[in-house]
C-alpha cells in the first residue's frame, strides 16, 4: 500500500475499554479488523477525556465500542440498580467528549452495545438497568453464545443494508437496554421480546447509528453487520482530510 493511499483512507476512532484489574486501556482486535476490511484505518482512543477530545479533531469517524461497564445512571437521573456493578467514569466521560465533537463537526458515529446506550444517554434518553428483573418475558441477552432475531423497521437504513430484509439473526451480550429513546433518534430494530436493538439518527445528511448486538464479531457472515461498517467508513471518507495536510498543521 502506498503512503498516499494510506493518507487518504478515513481514520476511524475506536473508544477503548478499561481493565480495572490491571489498569489497562484495551480493545478486542475484532473492531479493528472490521474497520480495516471496510477500507478504514482504526485508531484506538485512550480513556483520557482531554486527550481523546484533542485526538478526535484528527479523526474522520467514530465507533463507540462495547464495554464491560455500564453508563453511570446518574447521567440519566436515576438511582443505581444493585446489578449495576461496574461503572468507569473515564469511559463515560471519553464517550461524551467524542460525541460532543462528532455532533459539533457532523462526523459519523456508530455505537455498539454499551456505545449505543452511551449515545442514547448523550441525547437525553434513559436505560433499563437490568433486563432480567425489569422486562418480563425477556429472552436471553447476556450470553455471548446466544443468538436471536431482530425485526428491522421496513423504512430503516439497516433494513436497506440487509438487502430489504425485515429480520436478521444477531448475537447478544448485554444486561441493559434502551428505555426512553434519545432526542433525534428513532427505533430501527427490536428483538422478539420488544427490546430495542437498533437506533438510527433522524438527522439530515448525518451517519448516526447504534446497534445493541456486536457486529464486529459476526460481520463476516451477517450481511447487515458487514454493510454497517462499510457505510460508516464511506460516510467518514466524505469527511476525510488528507493526512499530509493534517501533519503540516493546516487542519481545515
Confidence of residue 250 (pLDDT cuts 50, 70, 90): very low
**Domain 3-247 CATH class label:** alpha beta
The CB density around residue 77, as the number of other CB atoms within 10 Å, is: 8
Evaluate if residue 48 carries a pLDDT over 50. yes
1-33 pLDDT tens trace = 444 455 589 999 999 999 877 888 999 999 999
Mean per-residue pLDDT over the chain, rounded? 91
User: Which residues, 6+ apart, have CB-to-CB distance to 172 below 8 Å?
Assistant: 140, 141, 142, 143, 144, 146, 147, 148, 191, 212, 213, 214
- Single pTM value for the model: 0.92
**Cβ neighbours around 244 below 10 Å, total:** 12
The residues pairing with 150 across neighbouring beta strands, listed in sequence order, are 168, 191
Enclosing H/E stretch for 216: helix 215-218
**pLDDT score of 112 more than 50:** yes
- Lowest mean pLDDT of 52-61, 133-142, 155-164, 228-237, name the range: 133-142
Residue 49 has pLDDT above 80, yes or no: yes
33 CB-contact burial (10 Å; exposed 0-12 / middle 13-18 / buried 19+): middle
Question: Comparing 3 with 228, which gets the higher pLDDT?
Answer: 228
Q: What is the spatial distance between Cα 214 and Cα 148, in angstroms, rounded to a whole number?
A: 12
CA distance 90 to 95: 9
> Using alpha carbons only, how large is the chain's radius of gyration in Å?
17
198-219 pLDDT, tens digit per residue, is 999 999 889 999 999 999 999 9
Domain ranges in the chain are 3-247
Q: Work out the average pLDDT over 163-174.
A: 93
Active-site positions read 113, 214, 216
Going by pLDDT thresholds of 50, 70 and 90, the confidence category of residue 247 is: very low
Amino acid at each position: 500500500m502506498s503512503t498516499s493511499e494510506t493518507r487518504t483512507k478515513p481514520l476511524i476512532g475506536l473508544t477503548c475499554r478499561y481493565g480495572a484489574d490491571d489498569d489497562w486501556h484495551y480493545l478486542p482486535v475484532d473492531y479493528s479488523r472490521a474497520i480495516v476490511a471496510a477500507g478504514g484505518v482504526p485508531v484506538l482512543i485512550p480513556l483520557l477525556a482531554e486527550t481523546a477530545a484533542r485526538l478526535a479533531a484528527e479523526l474522520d469517524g467514530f465507533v463507540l465500542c462495547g464495554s464491560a461497564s455500564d453508563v453511570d445512571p446518574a447521567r440519566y437521573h436515576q438511582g443505581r440498580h444493585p446489578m449495576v456493578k461496574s461503572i468507569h467514569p473515564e469511559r463515560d466521560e471519553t464517550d461524551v467528549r467524542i460525541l460532543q465533537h462528532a455532533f459539533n463537526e457532523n462526523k459519523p458515529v456508530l455505537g455498539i452495545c454499551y456505545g449505543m446506550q452511551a449515545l442514547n444517554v448523550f441525547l437525553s434518553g434513559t436505560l433499563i438497568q437490568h433486563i432480567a428483573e425489569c422486562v418480563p418475558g425477556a429472552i436471553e441477552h447476556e450470553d455471548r453464545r446466544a443468538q436471536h432475531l431482530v425485526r428491522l423497521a421496513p423504512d430503516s437504513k439497516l433494513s436497506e443494508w440487509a438487502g430489504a430484509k425485515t429480520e436478521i439473526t444477531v448475537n447478544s451480550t448485554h444486561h441493559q437496554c434502551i428505555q426512553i429513546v434519545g432526542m433525534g433518534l428513532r427505533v430501527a430494530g427490536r428483538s422478539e421480546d420488544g427490546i430495542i436493538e437498533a437506533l438510527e439518527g433522524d438527522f439530515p445528511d448525518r451517519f448516526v447509528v447504534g446497534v445493541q448486538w456486536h457486529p464486529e464479531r459476526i460481520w463476516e457472515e451477517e450481511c447487515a453487520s458487514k454493510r454497517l461498517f462499510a457505510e460508516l467508513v464511506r460516510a467518514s471518507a466524505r469527511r476525510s482530510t488528507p493526512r499530509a495536510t493534517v501533519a503540516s498543521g493546516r487542519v481545515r
